[in-house]
């Protein structure tokens, strides 16, 4: 027991110590939950449609509906469609995903987690029907998650009830009590922009009944994420819980029976602390499939892009006015056009500060996520 406590204490202290170093490497006074809302776009799920030969009837109509919904100008779903005709040779990953879904013969919709999640099992598989297309794209719980975050919640605790009704109620009460208690203790970092409207932390709890048919896809994806986190005794039937923030990003999942006030405090400390790592993939969490227009509904961005300071001790050489004149008169060739599929290059921080940030904050983020899961395992 003492060894377990010592191990958790060392990991937690090391993780937060590294986060402090990362914050010095790249100061950012925006809380993690807000930075994520403004800058961390959700990764895309893959909707693989497996069939053999020509589609007709209900499956054909369902595929047409799916592609039409995703192609609509107002669509904001983080999912893409990939047609897979089993009558042709499939590549190994595509075939493995089909086998993981049970090697269905009928036209089937198999949902693949985003690449960065490192989850290789399907998030969900179902017959290719119009009802299942709607189930994939929308559900009451996901709409409510987006509504609360866009309304101003820093994070929403997502609680999926288990079979123990008493324990479900206890954890629900615990989360609400801790949310109220921590609101009096949390102090957000001062904004970079002195004229920015002060942020106010807010937390809530969204509860989903186990086996809710309206949440079939969502519950399947959450259970698959929980099992994919490496828990040997993973059993989503006991209930799971975790905070959702940003543009629908789930920080981590813990087994509901072992949830404690310390879990809540750890998560809130991370989410309300200054964002020390601007790279989403270097932070803990997995994106959820939620269709929401995140950016246009934000009242006023608070993330301020700062210019990097000039290198100290470096003075650029003086230029000869004649050389400058020659350069001005020289014809300038237009740069070659980038391929249509290539995304625009993103502005990056300085080389050394960026590398230090990735190396230090990346390790810290992994440790923070590990501690969150470790608490559930050790206290089970």
pLDDT computed for residue 297 by the predictor: 61
For residues 35-59, average pLDDT? 94
Q: Which of 5-19, 45-59, 74-88, 209-223 has the lowest mean pLDDT?
A: 5-19
What average pLDDT does the segment 84-97 reach?
Answer: 95
Domains of the chain: 45-137 (3.40.30)
Per-residue confidence at 302, pLDDT binned at 50, 70, 90? low
pLDDT 10s digits, 331-360: 333 333 333 333 333 333 332 233 333 334
pLDDT in tens, 13-41: 333 333 333 333 344 788 999 999 988 99
Give the model's pLDDT for residue 343: 35
Cα 281 to Cα 358: distance, rounded to the nearest angstrom: 10
Taking alpha carbons only, the member of 293, 178, 188 closest to residue 241 is: 178
The 3-state DSSP class for residue 30 equals: coil
Higher local confidence (pLDDT), 306 or 182: 182
For the segment 257-277, the average pLDDT, to the nearest whole number, is: 89
Q: What is residue 228's predicted lDDT score, i.e. its pLDDT?
A: 62
Q: What single-letter DSSP state applies at residue 342?
A: S
Range list of β-strands (E), the chain = 45-51, 79-85, 108-112, 124-127, 155-160, 203-208, 240-245, 249-250, 254-255, 286-287
Residue 233's pLDDT band, with cuts at 50, 70 and 90, is very low
| DSSP notation for 57-80 | HHHHHHHHHHHHHHHSTT---SEE
Kindly provide the b/e burial profile for residues 132-141, where b requires at least 16 CB atoms within 10 angstroms of the residue's own CB. bbebbbbbeb
Closest to 153 (Cα-Cα) out of 190, 183, 129, 178: 183
């Amino acid at each position: 027991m003492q060894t377990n406590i010592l191990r958790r204490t060392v990991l937690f202290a090391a993780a937060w110590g590294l986060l402090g170093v990362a914050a010095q490497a790249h100061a950012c006074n925006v809380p993690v939950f807000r930075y994520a809302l403004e800058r961390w776009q959700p990764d895309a799920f893959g909707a693989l449609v497996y069939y053999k030969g020509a589609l007709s009837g209900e499956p054909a109509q369902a595929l047409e509906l799916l592609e039409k919904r995703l192609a609509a100008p107002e669509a904001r779903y983080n999912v893409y469609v990939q047609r897979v005709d089993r009558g042709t040779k499939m590549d190994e990953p595509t075939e493995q995903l089909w086998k993981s879904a049970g090697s269905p013969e009928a036209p089937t919709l198999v949902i693949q987690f985003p690449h960065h999640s490192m989850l290789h099992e399907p998030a969900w598989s179902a017959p290719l029907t119009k009802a299942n297309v709607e189930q994939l794209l929308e559900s009451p719980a996901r709409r409510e998650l987006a509504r609360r975050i866009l309304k101003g919640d820093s994070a929403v605790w997502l609680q999926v009830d288990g079979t123990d009704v008493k324990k479900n109620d206890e954890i629900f009460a615990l989360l609400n009590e801790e949310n109220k208690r921590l609101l009096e203790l949390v102090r957000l970092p001062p904004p970079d922009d002195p004229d920015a409207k002060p942020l106010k932390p807010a937390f809530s709890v969204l509860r989903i009944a186990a086996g809710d048919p309206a949440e079939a896809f969502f519950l399947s994806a959450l259970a698959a994420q929980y099992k994919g986190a490496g828990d040997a005794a993973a059993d989503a039937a006991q209930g799971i819980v975790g905070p959702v923030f940003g543009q629908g990003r789930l920080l981590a999942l813990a087994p509901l029976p072992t949830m404690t006030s310390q879990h809540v405090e750890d998560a809130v400390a991370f989410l309300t602390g200054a964002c020390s790592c601007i790279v989403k993939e270097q932070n803990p969490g997995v994106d959820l499939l939620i269709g929401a227009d995140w950016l246009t509904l934000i009242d006023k961005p608070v993330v301020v892009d700062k210019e990097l300071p000039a290198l100290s001790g470096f003075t650029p050489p003086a230029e000869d006015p004649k050389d400058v004149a020659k350069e001005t008169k020289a014809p300038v060739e237009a740069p070659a056009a980038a391929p249509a599929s290539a995304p625009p290059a993103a502005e990056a921080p300085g080389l050394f500060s960026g590398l230090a940030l990735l190396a230090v904050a990346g390790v810290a983020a992994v440790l923070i996520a590990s501690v969150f899961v470790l608490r559930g395992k050790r206290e089970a």
